[in-house]
Amino acid sequence: MDTSNVLISKSLGAQNMFRYPKNATILSLVVFTSLQTLTAQVTTATFYGIVTDPSGAVVAGAEATLTNEGTQATLRQATDNSGEFVFNFVPPGTYTLKIQANGFKVSSNTGIALSAAENLRRTYVLAVGAVSESVEVSSQVALVNTVSAEQRESLNATQVQELPLSRRNVAGLVTLSTGVTRNGGDVYLNGAGRGGTSVSVDGTDATGNPERPSLAMFGDFNYINGISVEAVGEVQIIKGVIPAEYTRSMGGNLNIISRSGTNQLHGSVFENFRAENLNARSQFLQTKPGVTFNQFGGSLAGPILKDRLFGLFVYEGYRERAFAAVSGNVPTERLRNDMIRAVPAYKTFLDTLPLPNQPHNLAGATGQFIGAGSLKNEDNHMVIKPDWRISDSMSASVTVTRFRPTRSQPRVQAINSREFTGVTDRVSAIYTYFKSRWTSESRYGYNKNVVDRLDAIFNVKDPNKQEGKFGGRRLPCINAVGFSGCGEILTLGAPNHSFDQKVALVSGRHSFKFGGVFFRRSIGRANIENPDIRFQNEADLLANIPNIVQMTFGTDLYSARSKEWGIFVQDDFRVSKKLVVNFGIRNDYFGNYVARGPGGGPPHSFNRGFVDFGTFQHTPIRPIDNPYDNDGVNIAPRLGFSFNPDGQSKNVIRGGVSTMFTNLAGETVTQTVQNSLTEPFRSVFSRAEALQFNLRYPQYNEDVLPLVRGGQSGGSPRVLDPQLKSAYAFSLYFGYQRELNTKMALETAYVGNRGIKWHTSRIANNVNPLTGIRPNPAFATMDYWDNADSTWYHGWQTSLRYRMSQRLTANIHHTWSKALAYGAGDVGWTATNTPNFYDLRSNKAIADGSVLHVMNINAVYELPRLTGSSAAVRHVLGGWQVATIFTAQTGGAINLTHPTGINGTRPDYVGGQPILDNYRQTLVYLNRAAFAPVPENNFGNAIRLGNLGRNALRGPGRWNADLSFGKNFTFLEKYRLQIRTDLFNSLNHTNYNNPDTNIESANFGRITGTAGAREIQLNARFVF
């Protein structure tokens, strides 16, 4: 294999990186020190208090002092004429509140735990007496929200550390709430699609994919998402009717808060281990593939200057060598011999595929191959965080994060492993200035993600002719009768910058916040793909008559930038002790992405509109510096309330409505970018066009490109509506919270989300099914994007929360919901499977990612320490800890397909039971007899659309129980060693994947994979 192209891929990524600041840390510090009294997502708490005497009369002029128990940082306020005080922008932590007033005893309240984005309101009653006397009270954890209407779920450091997490990936925690589903690094909140969830660490952008919000990097190949577990102080999810200070969060925000150093030196060292002999055998394999996984690292945090300067350092790395299961449809020996006999040129591609090794029809076209290939994963991850208490009124912190993940992923074609190399550098800098009635918070964020991805088959070149341009003569792939296997080379990524300024002002019963944010978003790519030659059936395959010829000529290296501004104002109006009303409004300006190559030249975005949707005639090309309109007016109001009828913070009725906008996902823009106007990114030829231009296997990029450049055939451009607007959603929340006792609370609520003008794609300029001719013969198919999608989400969400008592913390969450959409129900790039360009409404169906029922339970229980027992009993039986995550859900939507020359074609439903009851015994989920392909004509097109709707069926449901058992050994009261075993899918329950949905496939309706068998993870962690 020629490996030089791997180096070319990496050099492209290097070029991309070198165009931007090399040292984001230095840049952030320069910005940081220039700030005087200048956030994206909230990382601090707001603490409201009411001070009264024993009769209930308010106490004005009382002095309230809030002290961080770890750093001794102190904030001071005085109660106003209403007896109220407010602390804004309070960093997460545990605090002591001291209240004193003339004629009253000093009230000291310890152990007040404040978490990020928390709005806490409490009443404090002062006892009559001398100021020299004091009353000390240990505070309870707040269980209900009496201040605002948003939905908020917070997982503290104990839950993050002790719950079973596969490979210590914090992504395993994000579904431990209501209204949340996850697919890899993509998070869906309240039916708003993956593009509706903003991702942040310490309040600044932390998406791992620069082209859309995601916890994971592009390709979901890194095990450490967001930040190392060793650095996590809290994981929070904010959704529903969220405050106006949040931007680009139609579903909500996922925010990870990093830990900070304190006056006490503390740290950790850990080792995490996996091996195949610990695991159960995969359900579809006869043996256990080898696995060796080591994850290691530690942390050190403490004072640099006592009470003033604190530091945190975290390192985490992993090394994995394993044999990973691979499976897929491959040609039988009979078909392989027939293909080579008919077209000898097929042999080079066929040699990349194995023969079937599972029982199959020897006379058939395809069979299944199940095997294992070499998997390799590595990463070196670091976090550095200094916190500086400049004075009692000023503080600052900087979080610097670094990732370097790599992966080598096997596939059915041994020659076609997928290689990933990733780079992430991230900085979050925060400056806070405190005054008695107002507080200011300033942020700078830097987030650079670059991924190089290479499919090794891209290295296979035409053996008979030297290529004239890089990527011009790579092995064409065959896609036919259920088998395929293609590849590409891709470099993706660029840095994002953000500046954020907020001010909080207290005036009487009003708590105002106002501010603004600026983003400079960037995307970047360089990409070429192998030619993809598709055949409709075996007869066409043997005759070498393609039904679709897809040539992806690609683009050279470029970057595209977009500018965004946002301003907001919000007011939490304390109408009375029982009622708080929240009002907010924001406006966001979303600029367009403008693409440029190195030095400002090409590639550029060559966008156009349609003059006539009947013939798909184009408008003139838009200016390259204005490919589609900027969207400057996106006014988003919101109104919420929190009503506490008993005045004791025991029962709360909350509700509200809000509007939230989001901009166009960067991944949508990428295929509008071309090397030149006459060199499209891609061209897709129909059967008739393939016959016209004699496009038969093999075809190479540089042989076909002259047809497009010369005007004989058109490309397949992505067309963005030039007046494309920002998508938005109306959110509705109405719920009830009740504190059942001092440790337990119930929350139940209706949650609705109505998406309007969401971005979606449809394939334009399809061939006429009967004639094989396109409406606009100057172009091939075109990927058209506009604001045609709409979504509907209705859910009933219920949570029961039990906070630490008798060593137990537990949460139960249940969501009953349905999401509908015309398209995919998302605002990022995803296929909508719309066969009729003119009738998107007939495509209305269950949205991707919608699940009817989801229940999850998580608990951490520390068994009695037996401190009164003998040393032997205490060491053997004491100090044990058990934790669990249990999840059960119904199946997600599955879409049946019938590949033809028309995009999105589905088969007919002809009657009978579509899903078989005994699929767990037979592995046949769909009843083939209940479906039939739509008849095709001589052009390889279905003569009509199938009668089966999109996403008409749901796949298998699943349930899973992860368990953790740990033993804690304590030494000299300052040192603790935990030995722990984590069992994922602890009961080894078989959860089946969705079946093969291609009706042309030999495995149609059959289940060919599972979510995995039981895996065991051994962990040792030493804490001091």
Among 771, 783, 775, 777, smallest CA distance to 714 is for: 777
pLDDT band at 10 (very low <50, low <70, confident <90, very high): very low
On whether both 343 and 455 belong to a single domain, the answer is yes
Task: Write down the pLDDT at residue 135.
Answer: 64
Query: What are the tens digits of pLDDT across the range 165-201?
Result: 999 999 999 999 999 998 888 899 999 988 899 999 9
Whole-number mean pLDDT of the chain? 91
More confident residue, 612 or 31: 612
Together in a domain, 724 and 831: yes
List, for residues 376-388, the tens digit of each pLDDT value. 999 999 999 999 9
User: What percent of the chain has a predicted confidence (pLDDT) above 90?
Assistant: 73
Burial zone of 688 (CB within 10 Å; 0-12 exposed, 13-18 middle, 19+ buried): buried
* Residue 28: pLDDT over 50: no
Using the 3D structure, point to which of 138, 165, 194 is the last residue of a domain.
138
3-state SS, residue 449: strand
Question: What's the pLDDT score for residue 141?
Answer: 64
Asked if residue 9 has pLDDT above 50, the reply is: no
Residues 418 and 516 in one domain: yes
In the beta sheet, which residues pair with residue 635?
587
pLDDT at residue number 184: 81
Residue range 396-411: mean pLDDT, rounded: 97
Residue 975 burial (10 A CB sphere; 0-12, 13-18, 19+): exposed
Residue among 662, 667, 638 nearest 590 (CA):
662
Does position 833 have pLDDT exceeding 70, yes or no?
A: yes
Pairing outcome for strands 197-201 and 252-258? parallel
Query: What does the pLDDT look like over 96-154, one tens digit per residue?
Result: 999 998 888 889 888 888 888 788 888 889 888 765 566 666 566 678 899 999 999 99
In a domain, 170, yes or no: yes
When mean pLDDT is compared across 667-681, 860-874, 980-994, the lowest value belongs to: 860-874
| Range in 397-401, 805-809, 819-823 with the lowest mean pLDDT | 805-809
Looking at the domain assignment, is residue 279 inside a domain? no
For the stretch 996-1024, pLDDT in tens is 999 988 889 999 999 999 999 999 999 99
pLDDT of residue 964 exceeding 90: yes
- Token pair 């027992």 in the structure block, residue: 869
> Mean pLDDT over residues 964-988, rounded?
94
Model confidence at 31: pLDDT above 50: no
- Note whether 455 and 369 are same-domain residues: yes
CATH of the domain at 89: 2.60.40.1120
Q: Partners of 137 in the beta sheet?
A: 109
> First-to-last CA distance in the chain?
50
649: closest CA among 49, 46, 105, 45?
49
pLDDT for the residue 132: 58
> Is residue 106 located within the same domain as residue 206?
no
**Is residue 587 in a domain?**
yes
- CB atoms near residue 623 (< 10 Å): 11
Q: Cα-Cα-Cα-Cα dihedral of 216, 218, 223, 227, to 10°?
A: -40
Mean per-residue pLDDT for 208-235?
95
The domain total for the chain is 3
> 659 and 755: one domain?
yes
Inside any domain, residue 23: no
Look up the CATH number of the domain holding residue 161. 2.170.130.10
Q: DSSP readout, 871-912?
A: HHHHHHHSSEEEEEEEEEEPPBEE--B--SSSTT---EE-SS
Three-class DSSP category at 18 = helix
What dihedral angle (degrees, nearest 10) is formed by the CA atoms of 101, 107, 110, 116?
-40
Helices marked H in 536-681 — which ranges? 538-543, 666-669
Do 397 and 430 share a domain, yes or no?
yes
Beta bridge mates, 97: 66, 109
* pLDDT tens, residue by residue, 678-692: 999 999 999 999 999
**pLDDT tens digits, 592-645:** 999 999 999 999 999 999 999 999 999 999 999 999 999 999 999 999 999 999
Band (pLDDT 50/70/90 cuts) for residue 392 is confident
Whether 39 has a pLDDT exceeding 60, the answer reads no
Distances (CA, A) of 233 to 115, 259, 263, 296: 9, 4, 16, 19
**pLDDT at residue 233 in the model:** 93
Q: Which tokens hold the place of 883?
A: 């934790």
Contact 180, 191 (CB under 8 A): no
Residue 669 counted as domain residue: yes
Residue 644 sits in the same domain as residue 588: yes
- Is residue 29 scored above 50 in pLDDT? no
Examine residue 620 and say whether the peptide bond preceding it is cis (omega within 30 degrees of 0): no
Across 696-781, where does the E strand assignment appear? 718-720, 727-739, 744-764
Which tokens go with 975? Answer: 């040192």
Q: Give the C-alpha separation, 1 to 419, whole Å.
A: 14
pLDDT band of residue 32 (cuts 50, 70, 90) is very low
Q: How confident is the model at residue 11 (pLDDT cuts 50, 70, 90)?
A: very low
pLDDT (tens digit per residue) in 904-944:
889 999 999 999 999 999 999 999 999 999 998 887 788 88
Residue 858 lies in a domain: yes
CATH number of domain containing 403 = 2.40.170.20
880, 919 Cβ separation under 8 angstroms: no
Task: Tell me: do 132 and 155 sit in the same domain.
Answer: no
Boundary residue ending a domain (138, 168, 193): 138
9 occurs within a structural domain: no
- pLDDT reported for residue 2: 41
User: Is 131 in the same domain as 180?
Assistant: no
Query: Do 821 and 854 contact (CB within 8 A), yes or no?
Result: no
- Based on the fold, state whether residues 248 and 307 are members of the same structural domain: no
pLDDT of residue 795: 98
Q: What pTM value is reported for the model?
A: 0.88
Q: Does residue 209 register a pLDDT over 70?
A: yes
Residue 770 inside a domain? The answer is: yes
Check whether the bond before 602 is cis (ω within 30° of 0). Answer: no
CB 188 within 8 A of CB 849: yes
Same domain flag for 231 and 339:
no
CB-based contact 589:634 (threshold 8 Å): yes
Containing structural domain, residue 774: 291-1023
Q: pLDDT band for position 12 (50/70/90)?
A: very low
d(CA 258, CA 232): 5
Domain boundary among 106, 138, 170: 138
Looking at residue 768, what is its pLDDT?
86
